[in-house]
A and B are shown apart, each in its own frame.
Chain A
Amino acid sequence: MPTSDSRAAGGTRRRRRGPRTWLAALPLLVFTGLCFGIPLGAMAFGAVTRTDPAGGATRLTGEHLARSLQGPYLGSLIGSVQLSALTALVGGVLGVVIAQAVVTSRSKGLRSAALTASGVLANFGGVPLAFAFIATVGISGVVTQLADLADLGWNLYSFTGLTVVYLYFLIPLMVLVIAPALDGLRPQWREAAQSSGATGWQFWRHVGLPVLAPSLLGGFVLLFGTAFAAHATAAALVGGSVPLVTLKIADALSGNVLTGQENVALALGLDMILIAGLVMAVYLPLQRRSARWLR
């Protein structure tokens, strides 16, 4: 059918093309609607309603959301936000420094090796990472015993420990995100700055950083989101000793706490999405403003 149509005059072709191509995108939209929209809708619905077990009547309630913002649940939300913000900040800065070192190096081999390694390590989150760190700096880990870390007060199963572990996949992620942007800093700009007598610091302050700002912010948000959503690493590593919202949700879902907590888990899930959305909302205007520079 397409052959005869598209051979026709340009006007008709353009008009007919619309609906046909629209159909090609339909499966994706239907799929995300079903497999993403329905679970999310169910979660949001369950978070704000309460079904009477006897009568089966469902009514609106803010009880679950209120309970998710109290006591240990609130503590876990705060713990997650603190851990994510800290790791995203540290990981972002270190990632930029490493990416700059890699990008400015003249060795092509180092560059491709570093980017490949970053690609692998950024995906090395989760369970295997937790076990690698347990074997390295856990209680009977190799480095712990070699360097007597335990005597220095080191504890892997703590907030600090988790930070060190999270950075292992966040830094490579930042390198991956920021390396293309650092490549985009044109050498001519630096030459122009230098020939107008600018120092290196002035170049970064007035040219480099403003141009990189959207990518830096994007990287920070991505890192924050990744750290905030991370569950497997923490689950395999600390169990319950560090209050994290993902661990609390998993506990509530698997019924490790009082029954009837499932809806609080849904409310906590909603809280997480709201926080992630809030980060986006802060980031959006900033990004739009600074995106002008990269045009």
Chain B
Amino acid sequence: MAAMTPTTPATPATPATPATPATPATQTTPAAPYAAGSAPDTEAPGRSSSARRPRPGIWRGAVLALAGAYFLVPLLASFVFTVHVPGQGITFEAYTALLSADGFTESLLLSLGLAAATIALSLLLAVPALVAVRIGSPRLRPVVEVMCMLPLVVPPIALVTGITTVLRWGPEHLSRTPLYQTFIAVQNEKFPVVLVFAYTVLALPFVYRSLDAGLRAVDVPTLVEAARSCGASWPYVVLRVLLPNLRASLAGAAFLTLALVLGEFTIASLLGFQPFAVWIVSISGAQARMSVAVSILSLLITWLLLIALSRAGTTPSTTAAAPATTSRKES
């Protein structure tokens, strides 16, 4: 906590990371068990606890039931919508016809390819930078933080207005320079690199936050010095010492990026490409049932990915990862 204090007043982008004030909170009480919130009820002196106990139970039950209804009803209703055709009964045609639908495979593969490239690029850029800031250049920290967090302030649609303006420079001003070929290449229909760049910018805040939380939970300088004084080379330190400690936050960053790219609509549609989300909208007019079916499937896929990735990170979630890692370090 003390390490981050000087940067907090200095950087305008810090407030864009609500996790920043939040994460130290978990850190200040690394040993606090999760049941701690309910502890006062049980541990408090008898008079107040007996008077108080039934009320939070009812309150909590009602809140959770209402929330559950609000979040489950649209999902269930969407499913009913896709399988129940008025007058015809139950049919799974919306799902079975999907694979043969025009553009389904292409758009899905395009989105997955873009996601893989975006994850690779954002991690390759962010991991060295953040590790470097932790180890040796704390003065760079505000700069890196601002750079990573600024995209949160800039809505994707504002970014895309800028991108279209820049892309128009290609034919207008640069048609006789070699740069023109670059402008054409990044807009390749088969694999629009310009989308990878844009998505990497959009993903940076999430990647930064996830990695920063992970790095904060481990004592990087000590780990590095220990490994270095045992004679480990720098690549060994990064690959075998740091990255395993960051597994959960790397997985978290990758997942968030994947979800972001799979669902991204604004930039792709305005630049005229057709990844998955744009494709869903394009079929919605003619095949409403199928577009809803795809929407449900995309939620299920995201859910499965999250569970798989959090298993890979050994802890149920990134929020839970920080205290867990801290306590392991302390023990």
Contacts and interface: CB of A to CB of B under 8 A. Distances in A.
Pairing of A with B: yes
Interface of A: 2-3, 6, 17-18, 20-25, 27-29, 31-32, 35-36, 38-43, 46, 94, 97-98, 100-106, 108, 110-112, 115-117, 119-121, 123-129, 131-137, 141-143, 167-168, 171-172, 176-187, 190-191, 194-195, 200, 214-215, 217-219, 221-222, 225, 228-229, 231-232, 235-236, 246, 249-250, 253-254, 262, 265-266, 268-270, 272-273, 276-277, 280, 283-284, 287-288, 291, 294-295
In order of increasing CB-CB distance, the 6 nearest A-B pairs are A184-B25, A218-B18, A39-B162, A229-B155, A21-B136, A128-B295
B63 to A, nearest CB: 4
Contact of B296 (A17, A132, A143, A180): A132
Given A120-B302, A127-B263, A277-B153, A28 B197 contact: no
A202 B140 CA distance: 43
Contacts of A21: 132-133, 135-137, 140
A77 B225 CA distance: 53
B201 A35 contact: yes
B241 interface: no
Given A40-B159, A112-B317, A191-B43, A180 B22 contact: yes
B37 A103 contact: yes
A256 to B, nearest CB: 12
Contacts of B215: none
Given A43-B158, A101-B63, A280 B292 contact: no
A270 B161 CA distance: 10
Contacts of B67: 94, 98, 101, 171
Interface string B121-164: 00011101101110111001001100110111111111111111
Give the one of B22, B132, B153 with max A CB within 10 A.
B22
B147 A28 contact: yes
Nearest to A233: B265
B162 A116 contact: no
Contact of A215 (B25, B78, B164): B25
B98 to A, nearest CB: 14
Contacts of A115: 316-317, 319-320
Nearest to A115: B317
Contacts of B264: 126, 232
B185 to A, nearest CB: 15
Contacts of B155: 225, 228-229, 231, 246, 269, 272-273, 276
Nearest to B271: A253
Contact of B35 (A25, A97, A106, A268): A106
A183 B36 contact: yes
Contacts of B178: none
A136 B81 contact: yes
A128 B63 contact: no
Contacts of A219: 18
Interface in B96-113: none
Nearest to B39: A187
B296 to A, nearest CB: 7
Contacts of B129: 24-25, 27-29
B117 interface: no
A22 B128 CA distance: 10
Given A112-B316, A117-B71, A250-B157, A126 B63 contact: no
